Each structure stands twice: as structure tokens, then as C-alpha cells.
A and B are shown apart, each in its own frame.
Chain A
Amino acid sequence: MKRIFFRNKILPYLLIAPQMVVTIIFFLWPAGEAVLQSFQREDAFGLHTTWVGLANYRALFQDPDYIHSLQVTVVFTIGVTAVALIVALLLALAVDRTIKAGPAYTTLLVWPYAVAPAVVGVLWWFLFNPTIGLMPYLLSLVGYHWNHALKGDDAMILVIISAAWPQVSYNFLFFVAGLQSIPGSMREAAAIDGAGPVKRFFTITLPLLSPTTFFLVVVNFVYAMFATFPVIDATTQGGPAGATNILVFKVYQDGFVGLNLGSSAAQSVVLLAIVIALTVIQFRFIERRVEY
């Protein structure tokens, strides 16, 4: 790594100051507040705060709504990650075969990533709208009556697709780069060694992509758990009956709508702990590379 020395002792601190200020005001301070609040109980008017220790956490893990939200989050996160990774990998494999036709195709596939999450949500909400949407109409032709406003499973599928769609672009780019870095002779050697395309994919390509895949799994987990608030907000708002009420959305609802600040704070601290854990795993593995 290249080291740069500044003659002026203050200048380097001045240079990083804006970033530090932003981090402190918008991240460390609220995070600290949240941790503090999670140990307190505040009355509805914000006049009185009492120290309650771990009571908020205890209540949280005994609350069936919270446990349900946790389960919903697990399904949602795995769903989004699986859909976004598999679709991206299939598209990347298609590009890798015909890389000459690649650039235009690649650019098109990257566009969804540039669309604002709330817009993505609205887009899919329209596409799946039970009265005016295209998809319910098509599904009705095969005899399925789509209604994500009433059916929990439909709602879950809708939010998974909406949330996975922009992420496909991101994963796609990494997969294309990963595939390009596998030497063609490896595939040729395997072909001569008697492995057909499918076997080659599972025994050569996929293992060689494992560092990329692992990285993307963590990134997609983090995305699905924490960055999907606008998608939920624009489509199902956590409904019906909490079927898509993932943790980030519940934090917002309990805190800003329900004004239960103590519980909401405890929930965000739990989320914070999950992010930290995922980040640690990420760095651990990136340092060691995934073994192959």
C-alpha cells in the first residue's frame, strides 16, 4: 500500500472531517441514541423516560409479532438472494457464451440497478395490481387469481420479485466478471475430459465462481434485510396481516407509526448486530478467500 505523508499536521484531519461529520451525525449518533433508548421506556408524550434494562429486549423476543416478522424476514431474505443470484447467473452465462454481442445486452441488463427503489416498488405494484395489472391478467388465463392485497403468499412473491429485480443487475456484473476470469482452456480441458455442459457447469464453473458467489450472497443478504424498506413501503406496506412485515419495516412502523420508541430501538439494535455479524463474516472470508 502506498503511504502519503502530509507536512501539515492538521490538513489530513480537515480532509476527512466532512466524512467524519456525516458518519457521526447520521450514523454513530443515532445508533448511540438507539442503543440508549433500547434500555429505556418513554411515555407517549416524550416527557418521561425510565431506565428499564433489558426489558425491551425480553419483551421483543416474547412478542409473537416480532417472531413472525423474524420468520418473514428469513423467507424474504433467502428468497430475494436466491432469485437475484440465480437469475443473474443465468443471464451472465448467456452473455459469457456470446461475449461479442455482450456490450449492448450488458448495458440493458444494468439499467434496473439505476432505478430508484421506490420507483421499482411502484413499477411492480402496477404490473401485479389485481385490477389493472398485466401479470394478474396473464395468471388468470391459467386459472390463478392473483391478489397480493389478500393473499400472504402472493404478497411475499411480489415483494421478493420487486426487491430482487434491481439486485439482479448488480449480481450480473459480478458474475460476468467472474466468468470472464475463468480461462477458456479450463472449459476445453473439461470438455476433453468428457464433461458435458451441465456437468462442466456444476463441477468446474460453479466452484470457480464460489468466491464471487459468496461475496454476493452476503451483499444480497444485507440488501434484502436493510435496504428494501422503500420496496415494501411502495407495494404491500408489510401486509396483508403482516405477511411481508420484514424487520426494517416493523422498526419503522413500531417507532414512527406506533410511537413505541423503546421497542423500536431494541429492534434496530438487533438489526445493527446482524449487520455487524454479516460484515465480520464478509471480511473474514475475503481475507482468506473462499477455499478452492
Chain B
Amino acid sequence: MAAITLEAVGKTYAGGVKAVHSIDLAIQDGEFVVLVGPSGCGKSTLLRMVAGLESVTEGKISIGDRMVNEVEPAERDIAMVFQNYALYPHMTVRQNLAYGLKNRKMAKAEISRRVDEAAQILEIGAFLDRKPRALSGGQRQRVAMGRAIVREPAAFLFDEPLSNLDAKLRVQMRGEIKQLQARLGTTSIYVTHDQLEAMTLAHRLVVLNGGQIEQVGTPLEVYRKPASTFVAAFIGSPAMNLLNAKAEGGVAHVGGGRVPLAAAVTGPVTLGLRPEDVRPADAGTEGAFVLKIAYVEELGAQKLVHGTVEGQNFACALPSDAALGQALHLVPEPGAAHGFDAQTGKRLG
């Protein structure tokens, strides 16, 4: 178990592609950190640099109190779970689990103790003598996890380990990974582009965009106080509405309504409102703005109403029994509005 520290870490690929720009991040011992961001933002690159599978072209990576930039993957005391699991197809499950221990010349008795223990934790005892091709996707996933935990490493690295599973299994495995990490207390870095997976798993989220950190924080911090329009749009489902508005003394004017912001700004501003943070109001209510309804999605527990506010797309979540006409008057919940700089997209206040 160990802390992982990244100091000004950057990566420029041989072709000149700059995949990661100067990242600073301190991961505490036992922490579960999720790197999340859209495709191509450099998540895998960053994780692979920690694993030692990619060279570090700028900055320093330390695991524990050891700088590991030049250390071989095998010597870093980490275990990795790959997206395609990378199980050895010619070995049985037992041999897959034991391979890393054997290579480290561990005693036979200790190997079989650890394999049996991991098999019990992951409930894969019944297929120890099967080859990976005779397993289902979920079972392979467990074996891949087993291969990581038998090593009892200082850190687990996960690169989108659930993306090859169907939706239902993904939710189940997500829960299991969370419990397993809590139980073992091993420092973990988990890469995903699925914001829900990120929110549910992380102690701390790192939102990446274009090779840079947009925001670091607990899932709730990131959800409640997104640092930029990028994070605001990325975290939360359905996504936060972002409207171009004019502000005067900390109040945004849009769609005929007035929405108070946390910062006393004047001028153009981007107003952020989550679909669940508005409620319908009577026409003529103080500050209410107008949503012209385009179409409605019934989700069962609630309905999602899509339309436009002053010609800009807007969605709101309403109770399923809400009555609808051609248009809706909406007021934000108190304190729920987010203000962002219209130019830079950075959070105001």
C-alpha cells in the first residue's frame, strides 16, 4: 500500500502528439481515485505511465517514497486490470492467477494459499481449472481482478475494466469493485469515460480534458460545484443545461426571467442549471423564465421535458404527473444556479 504522487507529469508521444500536459496529483494511501474524461483526453496514457508501460517524458511519478520514472513495470509493485482483461488464453484460471507470483519465485504453498483466497473472495473457485475461453465475460472480469489481488500490490490500476460488459453486469461489478477496494484498502486508480461509474466508485474524481486536469474533488464537490462548463456538462445525467445570458449585478437575465447567481457579475455569462434543479411555476411568478416545449421523454419515475429557452436547448426533469401545455414557466431552486465566465468557461463564485 502506498501513496502515488504525480509532479508536473507530461507525455509527448514519438510522433509529437502531446497527450498529457503537466499534471500534478497527490493520491493518498488507500484512496480510490477515478480518472474520467471523454475519449482521447489522455486517461489511459496517464495510467500507463503510472504502470510503467509508457515512458514519462516530463515530470516525476512516485509510488510510495520512490521515484519510479525509470523503474520497470514489474518492479513498481502495481497490478493492472486491462479493458480486454488480457488473460493468458493457454493457461487455466489457476495458472493465470499464479503466473505473477511464480515469476517472483514465491513458495508453492504461499502461491496456492493466495490463489485460493482470491478465488474465494471473487467466487471463482468453481472455474480454477478452466481456460479463459470457457468463461463468460463477467467471469473473465473476475479472473482479471483475481490476478491483480493475489499479488497484494501497493496499487491497483484499472483501465476501463467494465466497458466490455453488458449494462446490468456493469452495475453489479461496479458495486463489487467498490466493496473489494474498501475491504482491501489498496490505493487504486481507475480510468473510465462513464461519468456514472466515476461518480459511484470514486473517493476522489479527476476530470481530464485534452490532457489537462479540469477539476479534482469528491464526487459531490464536483457535482455541486463544477469548476468549468466542461465539467458541468460532463458530470451528471441528464446533463446540466448551459444558457448564454446577460448578467446585471449578479442576476442573469434569460427567457424573460431573472436567475440570481452566487457571484456579483455584470455582462455576458453562461448560466448553468441542472434539469432537476428547476420547478414549474405559475405564469407571472417573480423571475420565472419560459421554456417552449419541443418533446417529452417519459422515464417512469419522472419525465424529461425538452425544449428551448430563448432559442437555446434546455431540458428539465418533472414529476411524471406534471401537466404540460405548449410552454412552461420555470423557476430555479434557491442557490441551484451556476454561473460561468462566458469566455473562459471557468466557474464564477
When the two chains form their complex, are residues A185 and B100 in contact, meaning their CB atoms are under 8 A apart?
Answer: no
Q: A192-B74, A193-B99, A194-B100 are in contact. Are A292 and B90 (CB under 8 A)?
A: yes
In the complex, what distance in Å separates the CA atom of A186 from the CA atom of B88? 7
A194 touching B104, Cβ below 8 Å: yes
Interface residue A195 (Cβ < 8 Å from any Cβ of B):
yes
Q: Give min CB distance, A252 to chain B, whole Å.
A: 43
B89 touches A191 (CB 8 A): no
A189 touches B103 (CB 8 A): no
Task: From the candidates B79, B86, B103, name the one contacting A199 in the complex (CB within 8 A).
Answer: B103
Q: A195-B103, A208-B89, A208-B90 are in contact. Are A183 and B73 (CB under 8 A)?
A: no
Q: Is the CB of B82 within 8 A of A190?
A: no
Q: Are A194 and B86 in contact (CB under 8 A)?
A: no
CB-CB contacts below 8 Å: A58-85 with B: none
Find the residue from A185, A188, A191, A192 having the highest chain B CB count within 10 A: A192
User: Restricting to A170-198, which residues have a CB under 8 Å from any CB of B?
Assistant: 183, 185-186, 188-196
Interface residues in B134-177 (C-beta closer than 8 Å to A): 147, 151
Decide if B79 touches A192 in the complex (CB within 8 Å): yes
Looking at chain B's contact residues, is the secondary structure mostly helix, strand, loop, or mixed?
Answer: loop
- Per a CB cutoff under 8 Å, which of A188, A196, A199, A208 touches B82? A188
| B51 close to A (CB within 8 Å) | yes
Provide the bound-state CA to CA distance between A203 and B90, in Å: 9
State the CA gap A194–B80 with chains docked (Å).
Answer: 12
* CB of A190, distance to nearest CB on chain B (Å): 7
Question: In the complex, what residues of A have CB within 8 A of residue B147's CB?
Answer: 189, 193
A190 to B103, CA, bound (A): 10
User: By the criterion CB–CB under 8 Å, are A192 and B90 in contact?
Assistant: no
CB of B259 closer than 8 Å to a CB of A? no
A191 in contact with B86 (CB, 8 Å): no
Establish whether residues A192 and B51, one from each chain, have CB atoms under 8 Å apart when the complex forms.
yes
By beta carbon, the residue of chain B nearest A195 is: B103
Pick the contact of B74: A183, A195, A207 (CB < 8 A): A195
Min Cβ gap A292→B in Å is 4
Indicate if B53 sits at the interface (CB-CB under 8 A).
Answer: yes
Which residues on the B side are within 8 Å of A210 (C-beta)? 90
Q: Measured between alpha carbons, how far is A204 from B99 in the docked complex, in Å?
A: 11
B82 touches A193 (CB 8 A): no
Cα of A186 to Cα of B79 in the assembled complex, Å: 13
B22 at the interface (CB under 8 A from A): no
Tally chain B residues at the interface, Cβ within 8 Å: 23
The complex places the Cα of A199 from the Cα of B105 at a distance, in Å, of: 13
> Is B84 among interface residues, defined by CB-CB distance under 8 A?
yes
- If the complex has contacts A183-B86, A195-B103, are A189 and B80 also in contact, measured as CB distance less than 8 A? yes
Residue of B nearest to A193 (CB): B100
A188 and B86 form a contact (CB under 8 A)? yes
Assembly CA distance A76 to B323 (angstroms): 89
Count residues on chain A whose CB falls below 8 Å from chain B CBs.
Answer: 19
Q: Pick the contact of B86 from A186, A196, A203, A292 — CB < 8 Å?
A: A186
Bound together, the chains give a CA A158 to CA B7 distance in angstroms of 61
A190 and B99 contacting across the interface, CB-CB below 8 Å = yes
B84 and A183 within 8 A (CB): yes
B78 is an interface residue with CB less than 8 A from chain A: yes
Within 8 Å CB of A188, what residues of B? Answer: 51, 53, 73, 80, 82, 86
Residues of A within 8 A of B78 (CB): 192
How near does chain A come to B68, taking the closest CB pair, in angstroms? 13
Nearest CB in chain B: distance from A200 CB, A: 10
Mask, A114-144, CB within 8 Å of B = 1, is 0000000000000000000000000000000
CA–CA, A185 and B52, complex, Å: 13
Known contacts: A183-B86, A292-B89. The answer to whether A191 contacts B53 by CB under 8 A is yes
A38 to chain B, nearest CB (A): 44
Please measure, in the bound complex, the distance between the C-alpha atom of A33 and the C-alpha atom of B72, giving whole angstroms.
66
Tell me the complex Cα distance, A188–B79, Å. Answer: 11
A191 to B86, CA, bound (A): 12
Q: A185 to B104, alpha carbons, bound, how many Å?
A: 20
Q: What's the Cα separation between A266 and B131 when bound, in Å? A: 47
CA distance A193 to B103 in the complex (A): 7
Chain A residues, CB < 8 A from B74: 191-196
Query: For A208, what are the chain B residues with a Cβ–Cβ distance below 8 Å?
Result: 89-90
Chain A residues with CB under 8 A of B151: 193
Contact residues in B for A207 (Cβ distance below 8 Å): 90
Q: Which residues 58-109 of B sit at the A interface, judged by CB distance below 8 A?
A: 72-74, 78-80, 82-84, 86, 88-90, 99-100, 103-104
Chain A nearest CB from B50 CB (Å) reads 11
What's the nearest-Cβ distance from chain A to residue B105, in Å? 9
Contact B84 A192 (CB under 8 A): no
Which of chain B's residues has its CB closest to A204's CB?
B88
Residue numbers in A under 8 Å from B72 (CB-CB): 191
Q: Distance in Å from the Cβ of B30 to the closest Cβ of chain A?
A: 21
Closest Cβ of chain A: how far from B17's Cβ, in Å? Answer: 15
Nearest CB of chain B from residue A91's CB, rounded to whole Å: 24
B104 and A192 form a contact (CB under 8 A): no
Extra pairs beyond A188-B51, A188-B73, A210-B90 (16, CB < 8 Å): A183-B84, A185-B82, A186-B86, A188-B53, A188-B80, A189-B82, A189-B88, A189-B147, A190-B99, A191-B53, A191-B72, A192-B80, A194-B100, A204-B88, A207-B90, A208-B90
28 contacts between A and B (CB under 8 A): A183-B84, A185-B82, A186-B86, A186-B88, A188-B53, A188-B80, A188-B86, A189-B80, A189-B88, A191-B53, A191-B72, A191-B73, A192-B52, A192-B53, A192-B73, A192-B74, A192-B78, A192-B79, A193-B99, A194-B74, A194-B104, A195-B74, A196-B74, A199-B103, A204-B88, A207-B90, A208-B89, A292-B89
Which residue numbers of B lie inside 8 Å of A, CB to CB? 51-53, 72-74, 78-80, 82-84, 86, 88-90, 99-100, 103-104, 131, 147, 151
The 9 closest A-B pairs by CB, nearest first: A292-B90, A193-B100, A194-B103, A185-B86, A189-B86, A194-B74, A207-B90, A185-B82, A192-B73
